[in-house]
Amino acid sequence: MFHKVDMHAMLMSAACGEGGDGIPAKLEVNHRCTSVDVESGEIVFGNGVKKTHDLITGADGIGVSLRSYTF
């Protein structure tokens, strides 16, 4: 068993690190999701930012904002 902080560090290192194949991910924080279009992959955030991605993962804890979406 390990602490969730250790898991977050491991996932961030794997996604954002330079050691893997492909382009490292960019971690952006303080972006509260307000809507998701699962067909187009578009995410809209409370600060007005819109992004489109192939994979959407909700990882903001027990109150995950994507919980209400059916995939």
Token pair of 9, please?
């560090």
Confidence check: pLDDT of 25 > 80: yes
Tell me which residue of 6, 8, 24 sits closest to 16, measured CA to CA.
24
**Mean pLDDT, all residues of the chain:** 83
At residue 51, the pLDDT reads: 93
Confidence check: pLDDT of 71 > 60: no
Specify the higher pLDDT residue, 62 or 28.
28
pLDDT tens string 34-63: 888 888 999 999 999 999 998 887 766 776
CA dihedral 59, 62, 66, 70 (to 10 degrees): 120
Phi and psi at residue 28, in whole multiples of 5°? -120, 130
